[in-house]
Structure 1
Amino acid sequence: MNIFYLIFFLLALALVYIILKKEIKIAQQTQTQEIIKQISDFSKNEFFILKQEILQNFLSHQDTFQRSLFELSKNFGEMQKSLSVSLTQAQSVFEEIQKRAQDIISLKELFQIPKIRGNVGEFLLEDLLRNYLPQSYWEANYFLEGQIADFVIKLEDKVLVIDSKFPLESYKRSIEVQDEKEKERYEREFIKSVKERVNEIAKKYILPDKKTLPYAFMYIPAEAIYYWLLTQKEEIIDYCRTKNVIPVSPNILYAYLQSILLLIKGQVIEKNIKEVLEGMQRVNKEFEKLNEDFTKVGHHLKNAQNAYENSLKRLQEVFLRFKTLENFKTEEKNLFSSSSVLIKNENSN
């Protein structure tokens, strides 16, 4: 709509430009005629001065008119250029819209083929799981007791199965027909096919004794169908509840995934806390062992200290005995020397 307004404005501006140019030309002609008339009325002596003034006035107005025309022409050229760019952009947008529309038509045709439609639903579900859960907590084409589940979410030693083979063909027929009786017939077929799918999910994928949770998800790839079942066909929801099968749309599954992600984070935190506690227990045991060893070393050091003190005491006793013997030997030597002197003196006499 903005492009149409711009085109209308430029056309109006061009029209004003043409009218203004025409009026300027008429004004110039009128002014020239008036000048000629005035020149003819004045005398020859005043003619030269008046001519100069009139010509100067005319040239001054003419320059102004020419500048105005030049600016107007310049602005008009810029607007024309801007309009050309806008039209080019509009053409590109229009081509992109056509391309998108063709893609939507192609996608719709894909969904009309049951096999491809199922593959697209599985692809969208897989993309949702990949974006919101760690890779190690989910798996596609999971082998379970001779059956292959489309997807499973791994929670500790259990798995939660997500089935993506929701029957859409009967629902598609029920909304395409105009006859009310035909519509009711296709709706009954659709409800029947949904119940059959629920029974198959409950039988194949809810096996608590085989490491599955006591319930499973039935993925409905369209929000409109999910809310139609929820609001118009409560019997389907009640039937799913009796079979422990939970119908989920993309938005509902996203909410479940957020809760599961919080549970996974809690499990990781619990595991880390458990590892920390186990590590603390190991450290405590090592500390107790170290304390025992340290106590033993203390006893050994104490025994060594006692042995050292006893040895030192004995060494001191031996040293005292040695000193006593040494003193006795000195006294004996002195006594022997005195006796020798006395004997010599007696012999001399």
Structure 2
Amino acid sequence: MSIASLADAPLAWIALGLALLVAVLLLRRPAVPPELISGLAQLSGRLDQLTRTAQAQGMALASQETALADRLAAQQLAIAEGLARMGERLSVLDSAQANLSALTAQVTDLSAVLSNRQARGALGEAQMEALLRDALPAAALSFQHTLSTGARADALIRLPMPPGPIAVDSKFPLEAFRRLRAAESDAARIAAGRDFAADVLAHVKAVAAKYVVPGETADGAILFVPSEAVYAALHADFPQVVEDAIRRRVWITSPTTLMAVLTTLAAVLRDARLRDEARAIQAGVARLAEDAGRLGERVTALRRHLDQARADIQGIEVSAEAIRRRAGHVAAIETDKE
């Protein structure tokens, strides 16, 4: 039963009872005082008004109940949708957690690789090789190239003379740099920086001595640093090392700067190829001109032969005409004898 029906029932029964009481009193009017009958009539009217008011309030309460039920249903639907979205987000979080765990394992493996000098060198060499293969044609590259001096370069970029082939070395001393980053005191930081600068200079000297061969390579070589952080620290904190490397014609590059250098070298290779093709076209045109000259000579000789043949034909025609006339004379002589 609704709230409106519960509110309407008692008042309706009370109003009905009062109406019956007034009717009975009216039937027994001589024995009932008029004031009582009037009061009961007023009370019945008040109860009737209260009944109508209660009915109106009941209808309003019923409307409120309907709205409340609709709101509750909407809230239940929203809660269900929120729980569904929460479940989806939890599944996404589970997937992200799994990916994070896998990434953590990969970072741990990478840290183990970087802590090993040989593995770190192989990683830098693979990175350098990938950059070279992406930027330059395969015909211009030679990996693990052995020079005439017996030194083996990690890569050789075959450029035309000048400047000539350029050797690329991908090995770089990082132990001192790791100590520099891990230093906790100024003294340890200064000592590690001094060791780092000495290691880099020693490696620069070795690259300049092994990979710059007069008449065989260019007058400089490329030293590839497989870390942007090391490259930035080297130029920011050790400019004297970079200047010394430049004086020794050793160009220190990072993955980003090496790609810029390779882009320039690719343009040089394109220009050299265009020059070779232009020379080939010029040689072809020169041969074509020679062929045209020989053709002209042959045409001239043929014209001479044709002129000689024409003269010979005219001579033959003259001889034939002379023979014809002489034959005519012989025929005329024989006719006179007859």
Q: TM-score normalised to the size of structure 2?
A: 0.78
Q: State the shift of 1:303 in Å.
A: 0.8
Tell me the amino acid that sits aligned with residue 87 of structure 2.
Answer: S
Q: State the shift of 1:38 in Å.
A: 6.8
Q: State the shift of 1:63 in Å.
A: 8.1
- Map of 2:235 onto structure 1: 230
Q: State the shift of 1:95 in Å.
A: 2.0
Q: Sort the Cα spacing of 1:319 and 1:106 in 2 relative to 1 into closer, same or farther, 3 A.
A: same
Structure 2 counterparts to residues 1-349 of structure 1, below 5 A: 29-37=2-10, 40=13, 73-74=76-77, 76-144=79-147, 145-156=149-160, 158-209=164-215, 211-326=216-331, 332=336
Tell me the amino acid that sits aligned with residue 169 of structure 1.
Answer: E
Q: Partners of 2:242 and 2:114 in 1: how far apart?
A: 25
CA deviations 1:132-154 (Å, max 9, x no partner) are 11111112211111111111111
Q: Sort the Cα spacing of 1:149 and 1:323 in 2 relative to 1 into closer, same or farther, 3 A.
A: same
Q: Which runs of 5+ in 2 are unaligned?
A: 17-51, 53-58
Tell me the amino acid that sits aligned with residue 96 of structure 2.
Answer: V
Q: State the shift of 1:34 in Å.
A: 3.4
Identity of aligned residues (%): 21
Q: TM-score normalised to the size of structure 1?
A: 0.75
> Which has the higher mean CA deviation after the structures are superposed, 188-197 or 33-42?
33-42
- Map of 1:19 onto structure 2: none
Q: State the shift of 1:74 in Å.
A: 4.7
Q: State the shift of 1:58 in Å.
A: 10
- Map of 1:12 onto structure 2: none
Tell me the amino acid that sits aligned with residue 159 of structure 1.
Answer: P
Q: Sort the Cα spacing of 1:323 and 1:173 in 2 relative to 1 into closer, same or farther, 3 A.
A: same
Q: Partners of 1:85 and 1:327 in 2: how far apart?
A: 133
What is the root-mean-square deviation of aligned Cα atoms in Å? 3.3
Q: State the shift of 1:186 in Å.
A: 1.2
Tell me the amino acid that sits aligned with residue 120 of structure 1.
Answer: L
Q: Which runs of 5+ in 1 are unaligned?
A: 1-27, 44-49, 51-55, 337-349
Q: Sort the Cα spacing of 1:186 and 1:68 in 2 relative to 1 into closer, same or farther, 3 A.
A: closer
The size of the alignment, in residue pairs, is 301
CA deviations 1:47-95 (Å, max 9, x no partner) are xxx9xxxxx9999998887777666545544443333223212321232
Q: Sort the Cα spacing of 1:250 and 1:327 in 2 relative to 1 into closer, same or farther, 3 A.
A: same
Q: Sort the Cα spacing of 1:212 and 1:322 in 2 relative to 1 into closer, same or farther, 3 A.
A: same
Q: Which has the higher contact order (CA 8 A, sep 6+)?
A: 2
CA deviations 1:310-330 (Å, max 9, x no partner) are 21222233333434544565x
Q: State the shift of 1:216 in Å.
A: 0.9
Q: Sort the Cα spacing of 1:58 and 1:311 in 2 relative to 1 into closer, same or farther, 3 A.
A: farther
Q: State the shift of 1:30 in Å.
A: 2.0
